[in-house]
Amino acid sequence: MGHTYQAVQWNPQKKRYDQLVVGGVLLYLAVFMAVSAAVFPEATLETLLIRGLGTAALVLLHIILSIGPLARRDPRWLPLLYNRRHLGVTMATVASLHGAFSTLQFHAFGDVNPIVSLFTSNTRVDSIAQFPFQPLGACALVIVVLMAATSHDFWLRNLSAPVWKALHMLVYVAYALILLHVALGSLQTESGTVTPAALGLGAVWLGALHLRAARAEGARDREEEVREAAAAEGWMDACGVDEIPEGRAKVVVAAGDRVAIFRSEGHLSALSSVCQHQNGPLGEGRVVDGLVVCPWHGFQYRPRCGTSPEPFDERVPTFRVRVEDGRVLLDPRPLPLGTETDPVPVSSAGSSPA
């Protein structure tokens, strides 16, 4: 059941990505602390570091949450998506440093355990202005650290994709907790408009991005569901043959999920559009050297049987497809994993044998 652990397989792109991320964080910290030291000359180095690390983590989180919906709208953002988990791990590290320094600064000099003090020193849950904001940040930190710790594919396989995905969607809960942490914390000790405006703008930006992506995806699903509803004899009219470019796919909704009909060397094959790695949009990938390649992380599948080439063992369901009068008909019932199907010539008038 378990899978062996394989360390990060570094390549030049990953190294460059990480160098940019780490360099960016260090540059941000240097600039932030220099500016803050000029504006708040009485602040100590520890205070500047705490503020710098906290704001750096928040900025990183906004970038991370922006990448997904941006990549859905424009494939030029995909390079940022490829190694997004590296951004997440960096963010968790920076946030952990912020949490550690804060706990040390404000809770380590009493006779109570600092972690206990963190959660018990302020009990004003009945007040908004004096709400115990630090536990909110601590809970968010637990979530992001858990996500960072399970970001490797080893955990994706061992926890199973649904559990892993459910865990990683807690990033939205963490985001809300962090903003509440800031709004009920540092926002209560200053009078300026820059901080609340930046916080509000960040939340509105992310909300708008996600809303836009959701509406586009929802419209796409509804368009395909109409087509699915009109299916007769178990076969649905998916699309015209000419709608599928060579080496690419047409994605349709069948039985509530997306199916990609690929065209390669004049033949059609249908398989699930959901990559087994991290649910990437397989149907937006290409056929390269006879293999379907996921646009997110490059996972490959054979179009005729939905299996990955050795040594990988990912599999996606395949579907029967046939061509009649220039129309591609799809049987929406997925075949058992690994079922071999014969690719259908685009000019064929017959059905694809199961």
Residues forming contacts to other proteins in the complex (CB under 8 A) are: 40, 42-44, 46-47, 105-106, 109-111, 121, 124, 127-130, 161-162, 165-166, 169, 172-173, 175-176, 179-180, 182-184, 187-191, 196, 199-200, 203-204, 206-207, 210-211, 214, 217-218, 256-258, 274, 279
* Residue 330: strand, helix, or coil: strand
* Helical ranges in 40-168 per DSSP H: 45-73, 78-82, 84-107, 114-120, 133-149, 153-159, 161-168
User: Exposed e or buried b for every residue in 49-70, given b needs 16+ CB within 10 A?
Assistant: bbbbbbbbbbbbbbbbbbbbbb
In whole angstroms, the minimum distance from the beta carbon of 245 to other proteins comes to 23
DSSP 187: G
Smaller CB distance to other proteins: residue 77 or 106? 106
Smaller CB distance to other proteins: residue 39 or 232? 39
In whole angstroms, the minimum distance from the beta carbon of 180 to other proteins comes to 4
In whole angstroms, the minimum distance from the beta carbon of 166 to other proteins comes to 8
Smaller CB distance to other proteins: residue 169 or 288? 169
In whole angstroms, the minimum distance from the beta carbon of 141 to other proteins comes to 16
In whole angstroms, the minimum distance from the beta carbon of 181 to other proteins comes to 9
Residue 245 backbone zone (phi > 0: left; psi -120 to 50: alpha; other: beta): beta
Please state, as a whole number, how many other Cβ atoms lie within 10 Å of the Cβ of residue 72: 20
Smaller CB distance to other proteins: residue 43 or 346? 43
Smaller CB distance to other proteins: residue 212 or 267? 212
Q: At what angle do helices 171-183 and 45-73 cross, to 10 degrees?
A: 140
229, with CB counted inside 10 A (0-12, 13-18, 19+), is: exposed
> Following CA atoms 278, 282, 288, 289 in sequence, which dihedral angle do they give, to the nearest 10 degrees?
80
Backbone phi and psi for residue 314, each to the nearest 5 degrees, phi listed first = -70, 145
Smaller CB distance to other proteins: residue 172 or 312? 172
In whole angstroms, the minimum distance from the beta carbon of 307 to other proteins comes to 17
In whole angstroms, the minimum distance from the beta carbon of 274 to other proteins comes to 4
Smaller CB distance to other proteins: residue 110 or 326? 110
